[in-house]
Structure 1
């Protein structure tokens, strides 16, 4: 039997690696589809005939089968009150009243999310049809996130594809598109840093891949804001050329200020290009969505540490409480950003590349901790960072347990408050456990994320897998 040549062995290894990856992706996609399907069925319990004249199901918001998972979803909630049921194109014709009520098609979301809602309402005449159309729009983004994470971390993507948050929140609100932009930005940076087997050089230059990633993050900003936070650490990464600090190799003149400016400029131009048509078409309506968020109070609906903590110190939701939250929340958010960016600089000075992914995750943790609003579905925002970064297992497990506790109780608490029924101890206990466990863990993650090693893996030219070193553009 003739000996196998080097080229034949290379081809065999390459095809074996591709086959293994195909199996991983197939399993991940199937599992994510199953979990999203379960979530879809659970949320659908709040819909169906009979309907009110405005198309609202009489089963909303408690459902008809008393499921363990609350069937309430913001998708169905938004059907009435934002002119979505009247098929009004968002922002162009509307505004906000002196009482803070939106009208004329304005929704309290960034423009691209509003546009997706409008598309979901096409052909829908009930909240159930709107929910079903919206789920069809959201589904490809959920699959895309699964595939991208599978390509980046292989089986670790099970933390995304096969955990309760995908059941609870895939079709709760418009989170999947924005998560896809954030994960897509990381994937572009990884792909660009991979060595091409033909040239032996990176597939994309650092500037090119970072500009593409910045555009994706800017699109995410126009969906749900938070990916825009990641542009700054990405620019810092490019500024330092994605390499560790070395006095002999990286002096002040070696900092890539032009590349960093390109990253920020690309994000700004993208945001302006997306926002400008809405600003020109209906400035008052476009501005109304921003005004709504500015006026929003930190009440029980926002589910933050401010409501569950500071409210008790001020004697309720009075003017003192609102003043404290209105000032302290943005200041603490900005302070948390400054701290984690500085922690990233310290990592760079210690001899490692600037950890832009870890810093991005830490900024998100600070934002989620101190913002006036902390909706349960925000778990989908932070979950990919549990996948991408080597976070301690107890933290991940406890975070997901607290999230499950919160989701299974908070919407029942809303119903008790609305009906005036006696409070159940396990409902209030579940909410308190979820809120305060998340708060403590987010405070820990603001530090832990920055130094967490990456799980990201990239293919070598010979078809095997290797750990992406700290110096590549991820």
Structure 2
């Protein structure tokens, strides 16, 4: 298959290539072993390894200096949750045992993440020599932090998860290189993403990210049942893969494939149900914690709701935010639906998925730093142009730095009061995201601007741009 090389159609890459001889020619040879996919897998491995190094100062060793953690921007949820969620005792996350529940809080995450965390805690215990749990049962949870070897054990837990996340990142790259035939290099913006390096180890979000990439890959190969299963498993790890069904609804309606959409709904629900069954059957009350936690959660980090709440002192109630955010998101989805149905050509699933997920994040009451990973595989396929990716990810990186300095108290005015500069960071992040949303929406409405659909036109634009630069 003939591959479209980014130096032939991307102005940024073409301009940079002038330093090494210019864009790849039409008759350039191909290395027999270093295929684009293998190159991108290697690059992703290097980038993720750099991310682990960035987290190392305060996440791969004991650190009681919270201020230093925020100053160095190396926080991860994995270390502080190891003992409070019972993983030091290998406690099943959905156990209803009275002693377990009196000692430890229930995991507030979907079942896919809870299973993964419990499984990696089991691997951690095996690697450190299966510690005697009887001594831990006899001690108060707060005393476990001081046990001999506990710091090293938690570090092993973080590293086990890091290895698993790295494999998930590589799987994501593998799937992304196969979504658009002849365009494996579109995945480069994921493999080389600084956002991947900086946020990949914060939480367990890469589980759902890999499943979304796999679903995009399966859909392009018309594997409807597999697509539904992957979406259902993704929803079991994070809610947002559910929104792919909105994009699939548009595509199935346009192509008059209602039976396929019904299959997608049934298989997605069946996979989600099967994934949730062990948790629900072993601890119904514990299973509900995730849903109750999100319903009761107020305006939180990164959200426009938090900005308005702090700037105006309105004091939004959780119920009010829930009602308005879902109503606004419904209107956003309606807009994406109309855009998709009125488009002159069938949009691509990555484009529709990106638009829906972006709307959810902008309107949602919490927008954690690692949520950029939700958009990353969708964004690099929806708008595979480096200039636009750099603008969007630049906004994300600016916010990434500001949120940690905000939590560390470094942005507070000398005279006291709210950290207004953190509000600026929220607005910059949202503005950069809306910039990419506008471009993707334009590509859907006017497909001639979509590099995936009109490579010849984009190639001509690139040639003109590089000629002017020279």
Name 1:119's counterpart in structure 2.
Answer: 119
Q: 1:413 to 1:223 in 2, by over 3 A?
A: same
Determine if contact 2:195/2:373 at 8 Å carries over to the other structure: yes
Match of 1:79 among 78, 82, 91: 82
Find out whether 1:41 has 2:37 as its counterpart.
Answer: no
Q: How big is the shift at 1:287?
A: 0.7
Q: How big is the shift at 1:136?
A: 1.6
Name 1:257's counterpart in structure 2.
Answer: 258
Moved over 6 A (4+): none
Q: 1:81 to 1:111 in 2, by over 3 A?
A: same
Determine if contact 1:355/1:450 at 8 Å carries over to the other structure: no
Q: 1:171 to 1:424 in 2, by over 3 A?
A: farther
Q: How big is the shift at 1:223?
A: 0.7
Determine if contact 1:107/1:289 at 8 Å carries over to the other structure: yes
Q: How big is the shift at 1:433?
A: 3.8
In the aligned structure 2, how far is the partner of 1:357 from the partner of 1:421? 39
Match of 1:178 among 197, 208, 231: 208
Q: 1:163 to 1:149 in 2, by over 3 A?
A: same
Find out whether 1:334 has 2:339 as its counterpart.
Answer: no
In the aligned structure 2, how far is the partner of 1:289 from the partner of 1:411? 25
Q: How big is the shift at 1:271?
A: 0.9
Determine if contact 2:398/2:429 at 8 Å carries over to the other structure: no
CA offsets 1:362-403 (integer angstroms, 9 cap, x no match) = 100110001111011111111222321236655422221121
Q: Secondary structure at the match of 1:85?
A: helix
CA offsets 1:22-62 (integer angstroms, 9 cap, x no match) = 4322321222111111111121211466xxxxxxx234645
- Structure 2: 5+ residue stretches without partners: 1-27, 126-149, 458-470
Match of 2:431 among 440, 449, 468: 440
Q: What does 1:83-94 correspond to in 2, within 5 Å?
A: 83-93=86-96
Name 1:375's counterpart in structure 2.
Answer: 368
Determine if contact 1:236/1:356 at 8 Å carries over to the other structure: no
Q: How big is the shift at 1:436?
A: 0.6
Q: Which structure: greater helix fraction? A: 2
Determine if contact 1:157/1:387 at 8 Å carries over to the other structure: yes
Q: How big is the shift at 1:327?
A: 2.2
Q: 1:401 to 1:263 in 2, by over 3 A?
A: same
TM superposition score normalised by structure 1 = 0.74
In the aligned structure 1, how far is the partner of 2:82 from the partner of 2:363? 29
In the aligned structure 2, how far is the partner of 1:421 from the partner of 1:226? 33
Q: 1:234 to 1:138 in 2, by over 3 A?
A: same
In the aligned structure 2, how far is the partner of 1:111 from the partner of 1:344? 32
Q: How big is the shift at 1:273?
A: 1.3
Name 1:293's counterpart in structure 2.
Answer: 294
Determine if contact 2:45/2:170 at 8 Å carries over to the other structure: yes
Determine if contact 2:189/2:389 at 8 Å carries over to the other structure: no
Q: How big is the shift at 1:185?
A: 1.2
Q: 1:141 to 1:189 in 2, by over 3 A?
A: same
Match of 1:387 among 380, 388, 395: 380
Name 2:310's counterpart in structure 1.
Answer: 311
Q: 1:155 to 1:94 in 2, by over 3 A?
A: farther
In the aligned structure 1, how far is the partner of 2:96 from the partner of 2:452? 46
Q: How big is the shift at 1:297?
A: 1.4
In the aligned structure 2, how far is the partner of 1:287 from the partner of 1:225? 14
Q: 1:94 to 1:228 in 2, by over 3 A?
A: farther
In the aligned structure 1, how far is the partner of 2:311 from the partner of 2:283? 41
Name 1:135's counterpart in structure 2.
Answer: 162
In the aligned structure 1, how far is the partner of 2:57 from the partner of 2:359? 35
Determine if contact 2:108/2:293 at 8 Å carries over to the other structure: yes
Q: How big is the shift at 1:130?
A: 1.6
In the aligned structure 1, how far is the partner of 2:88 from the partner of 2:325? 34
Q: 1:284 to 1:321 in 2, by over 3 A?
A: closer
Aligned residues: 391
Determine if contact 1:173/1:377 at 8 Å carries over to the other structure: yes
TM superposition score normalised by structure 2 = 0.74
Find out whether 1:217 has 2:231 as its counterpart.
Answer: yes
